[in-house]
């Protein structure tokens, strides 16, 4: 197998594993298993970017990986605000270092939104933050011509919103309906 094909196959394999972890995580009701799968997804994303030689992308994914570990450690408690601010500062510095014009704002803003939802800690806000935070990535992947990543991100956004409505909106209504019938 030639080197280009190997890089392509490994990159796609890591991407598929990342997608599976993320899509499954958005359907979970408890924060800890959701965060464990999100952390695993980030590890696969790091590997995917690294194999493809996208070093800046892998650096941002490393920040997300560390962020997920920190927020998982706090469990049901919210991490101190200084941790969120530190992560925001690191993301800002990495965005400035890898600035490629206004288009760079899309993944930056999306990452800030999702990071806030993870810091806030409520599972329903994590799902909603993932859906909203990844929406700018949809435009970014389209505008940069990364159509495979667009499809993966679209599936992630759909899974986030499906989980949010299935569990957090309609699931709560079913519980309320059952309680009122008793």
Report pLDDT digits (tens) over 150-168.
Answer: 888 899 899 999 999 999 9
What pLDDT score was predicted for residue 169? 92
Q: Where is pLDDT greater, at 36 or 146?
A: 36
**What would the pLDDT profile of 81-99 be if each residue is shown by its tens digit?**
999 999 999 999 988 988 8
Between vectors from CA 30 to CA 79 and to CA 15, what angle results, nearest 5°? Answer: 85
pTM of the model: 0.79
Task: Report pLDDT digits (tens) over 47-76.
Answer: 888 887 766 667 778 888 999 999 989 888
Q: Which two tokens stand for residue 111?
A: 């990452």
81 and 34 Cβ atoms separated by less than 8 Å: no
- Among residues 143, 91, 147, the alpha carbon closest in space to that of 116 is found at 91
* Domain total in the chain: 1
* Residue range(s) defining the domain that contains residue 41: 3-181
Angle of helix 81-97 relative to helix 105-120, nearest 10 degrees? 170
């Amino acid at each position: 197998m030639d080197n280009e094909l190997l890089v392509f196959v490994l990159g796609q394999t890591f991407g598929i594993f990342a997608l599976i972890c993320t899509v499954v995580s958005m359907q979970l009701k408890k924060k800890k298993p959701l965060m464990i799968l999100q952390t695993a997804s980030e590890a696969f994303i790091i590997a995917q970017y690294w194999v493809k030689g996208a070093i800046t992308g892998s650096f941002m994914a490393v920040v997300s990986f560390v962020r997920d570990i920190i927020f998982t450690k706090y469990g049901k408690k919210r991490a101190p605000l200084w941790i969120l601010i530190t992560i925001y500062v690191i993301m800002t510095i990495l965005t400035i270092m890898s600035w490629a014009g206004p288009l760079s704002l899309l993944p930056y803003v999306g990452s800030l939104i999702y990071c806030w939802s993870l810091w806030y800690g409520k599972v329903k806000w994590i799902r909603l933050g993932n859906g909203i935070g990844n929406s700018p990535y949809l435009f970014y992947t389209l505008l940069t011509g990364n159509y495979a990543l667009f499809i993966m991100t679209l599936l992630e956004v759909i899974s986030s919103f499906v989980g949010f409505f299935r569990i957090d909106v309609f699931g709560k209504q079913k519980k309320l309906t059952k309680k009122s019938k008793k």
